[in-house]
Amino acid sequence: MQSVLEILQKTTAFFEQKDVPEARLQAERLMAHVLECSRLDLYLQFERPLTDEVLDKLRPLVGRRARREPLQYILGETEFLDVKLKCDARALIPRQETEELADLLVQNFGKTPPASVLDLGTGTGALALSLAQAWPDAAVIAVDLSADALALAQENAEANGLSARVQFVQGSWFTGVNGRFDLIVSNPPYLTEEEMTTAEPEVVKFEPTGALVSGADGLDDLRKIFAEAPKFLNPGGMLAVETGIAQHEILADLANQVGFARVESIKDLDGRPRFVWSTLA
Q: Which CATH class is domain 79-279?
A: alpha beta
pLDDT digits (tens, 9 = 90+) for 56-70: 999 999 999 999 999
pTM given for the model: 0.92
| Closest alpha carbon to 121 in 90, 105, 143 | 143
Which pLDDT value is given to residue 196?
A: 85
Sheet of 139-144: strands edge to edge?
166-170, 139-144, 116-120, 181-186, 233-242, 273-279, 262-267
pLDDT digits (tens, 9 = 90+) for 133-190: 999 999 999 999 999 999 999 999 999 999 999 999 999 999 999 999 999 999 999 9
pLDDT above 90 (res 269): yes
H/E stretch holding 96 reads helix 96-109
210 CB burial (10 A radius; 0-12, 13-18, 19+) = middle
Mean predicted lDDT score pLDDT of the chain: 95
Which pLDDT value is given to residue 42?
A: 92
Torsion of CA 260, 264, 269, 273, to 10 degrees: 90
Which pLDDT value is given to residue 197?
A: 84
pLDDT digits (tens, 9 = 90+) for 185-218: 999 999 988 888 888 998 989 989 888 999 989 9
Question: Which residues, 6+ apart, have CB-to-CB distance to 9 below 8 Å?
Answer: none
Domain ranges across the chain: 4-67, 79-279
